[in-house]
Amino acid sequence: METAVVKTPLGYARFTGDENGLASISVVDKAMPEDIIPEVLQDAVYQLNEYFEGHRKTFDLTLNPKGTDFQKRVWEALLEIPYGKTRSYLELSKQLGDVKAIRAVAAANGKNPLWIVVPCHRIIGSNGDLIGYAGGLHRKKWLLDHESPVKQQSLF
């Protein structure tokens, strides 16, 4: 498994993957960026940088996350949420065919190993509140603001 660490506007992103695909992207507060990015991770790093620059709304990567079959079903459903849109945990549970699975869906969402690429940040509470984000709510808010079609203008 190859690794790379790059600086992003939200901290350092640590990538892991191999010839079978991208296994994880996680955000870490403290790390040292790596000078050399392994070839198998270069496209993922490039696409994430494009996302932060505002030039990419979808990712075209081979994904190979580790998880249970249920977790993978949840992560696949997350991929269907368009850029700039949100869904609630309840809506996601209904989409997966079991409204009673809301806690299991939330737990699987929290175990998402592919930060931003599998957009778990687009899941919010039924009342619109920003809840439950492993990367911290400040990052979730930043990501949703970044993807928002309506940009807040400064008064000054």
Q: Which residues constitute the domain of residue 13?
A: 2-53
Residue 59 lies in a domain: no
Mean per-residue pLDDT, 100-122 = 96
For strands 21-28 and 11-18, give the pairing.
Answer: antiparallel
Is 128 inside a domain boundary? yes
Task: Out of 23, 77, 120, 143, pick the active-site residue.
Answer: 120
How high is the pLDDT of residue 10?
95
Residue 27: its H or E element: strand 21-28
Residues 44 and 85 in one domain: no
For the stretch 1-56, pLDDT in tens is: 999 999 999 999 999 999 999 999 999 888 788 889 999 999 999 999 999 999 99
Which parts of the chain fold into alpha helices (H)? Answer: 39-53, 69-78, 89-95, 102-110, 137-147
**Is 95 in the same domain as 134?**
yes
Q: Is 76 contained in some domain?
A: yes
User: For residue 58, is it within any domain?
Assistant: no
Establish if 45 belongs to a structural domain: yes
Query: Are 48 and 73 in the same domain?
Result: no
Which CATH number is 21's domain given?
A: 3.30.160
pLDDT tops 90 at residue 133: no
- Looking at the structure, do residues 79 and 143 belong to the same domain, yes or no? yes
How much is the pLDDT for 110?
93
Residues 36 and 101 in one domain: no
**Which CATH number fits the domain that encloses residue 132?**
1.10.10.10
The DSSP bridge pattern shows strands 21-28 and 87-88 to be: unpaired
Q: Which two tokens stand for residue 66?
A: 């580790």
Same domain, 137 and 77: yes
How many Cβ atoms from other residues are within 10 Å of residue 42's Cβ? 13
Quick one: pLDDT at residue 103? 93
In a domain, 77, yes or no: yes
97 and 122 co-located in one domain: yes
Verify that 40 and 79 share a domain, yes or no: no
Q: What is the pLDDT of residues 73-104, one digit of tens each?
A: 999 999 999 999 999 999 999 999 999 999 99
Count: domains in the chain = 2
**The pLDDT of residue 150:** 75
**Amino acid 156: pLDDT:** 57
CA 65 from chain center: how many Å? 12
pLDDT at 154: 58
User: Does the annotation count 101 as an active-site position?
Assistant: no
* Rounded Cα–Cα distance for residues 114 and 116 (Å): 6
Closest CA to 149 of 90, 84, 62: 84
pTM above 0.85, yes or no: yes
In this structure, is residue 152 part of a structural domain? no
Report yes or no on 61 lying in a domain.
Answer: no
Same domain, yes or no: 135 and 83? yes
